[in-house]
Chain A
């Protein structure tokens, strides 16, 4: 039933996006493709953090894995695009499984630290093995418009189609997963691991599964971004990407897939809008490159003050005030899930570890 509802909505959204891709200019199509690629990665991250309760600052690293996997498959094996995208997700998921096994033993800030390490260290592998990964200048990826669309069809529009389709499919899958038994089990684990374990849930396995799914999303998002920008290079997967993805998930509303869309939108459009603004107001080079960063920080602070549960949380609150809502949705304090409970959980971890593992 849920599946049908989700699918129906996806088809409607897909049609709207299809029409829009014709209305938009090339550059907006390009940005639409970028947003969609980020939606995939942020969607996975928001499920990981908001639903399964594991904080990761390493999502950018998994995007890098997906991006490089996709580029290498296209360059050396010339696989068709859909296979490349699928394979990138699978390869990244495999990496996620390895990290996930370690992650399932770590909590709160320790988990954040470990994933942070991944985000910092992984891109330098590309510099270490130049022959394979092209070093600092990275690899160029070429995607062509398929023949049946004709030669005059814009590449950016085709990329927008591919990315939006991938994003919609991912969102439908994630939405169903979150509402399935697995999603409920994740939430149980997130809220109280001891209770979840006592209820017969395999906590470690559930956590690894969340990591794998999140990594698969990141890998797919990374591969999509690689074909959109036609390039993968270490500079594209720095720590600031990982932080940016985390920011997008938090700004949008942790655990909310619609929030992932809002967050990705901010991630792409705000810096581009601010750079334009700075340039058109005649700011000097150095100033115009710092203004967007400063203003982005400001947007972040304002959104967090105004909507502590993210944009989607804020919208829900506004709508909830208008329409009759369940008691849980009404309170002024929305679900600001992890941050508070991280603080609570972290120090007490030692005792819990014994309770949950085995």
Chain B
């Protein structure tokens, strides 16, 4: 007897959820802006950032000041001219070069002082390299390249016997997982994190608050639908939209940018669904806690967008942050998803990375969704 009643209530619950999902889906589809965020935004972002966000340093404009005209000075200059990393501008005087550096026309100055060729013979020649420090990262990388270009010239001259060879240490460098040294390879997985975060959290952040503001949530209270059913009805359409956005950005990343994919799609989809649940959970929890669309929007932005960009390891490596900030990064789910994606894409199914990160996401998803249900208990006042 009880079994029959339970089975009956289960079907009733399923019918209610289906009805709620249908209502939310209609609301979602009727608003063209949701389609924009679900389909157009992922593609546009992928294109914009795949091509636009580039941390590789190439064609650095450099001013070469030759204060002496000699074969050696010309040799050094040609080392820069032949390098892919530099675009050379020849200037006569240091004052002129300084002006160009100040105006940001060039990012570096290479100065070959008078008496260079003579001092090369006595092993105490000097070359000055000055960079504009405002963009510290580019500056540091171009300093390395400049030293490399000069080093190559020295090695060539030494091989020709025109210069003394000296005992020194040479490095042979290689990059694993990213042999081509393309920043796109690690930026695209990070981009997918941003897309899923935005769709998951921003869209849902307002849906519950809207019903509270308009008073329609109270109307739902008098229906037999439970809060968990109401929330499920809200989550499902956005979940589907999020997965569409995810599929589009993965497909685009692989096809357009040739990002290598070394893991399995099954694992990728599984962890992404997990993360999408977390993102939806944040949106719903924020929305239910504030019960105001304006506050929910400001809060979800503070909680998701900038942290996903700055504290996730998407661009800035977490290992280089002070320990207290590293502790803070553990709070934000994006961190786990970024390391999952970068590993699945570039290294493969490394279970020692996948299992702990996925476990944390699962716990977060459960906690956030439970919290949202609790915040929407049927209490008025």
Please say whether chains A and B are actual partners in one complex.
no
B residues at A contact (CB < 8 Å): none
A: residues with CB less than 8 A from B are none
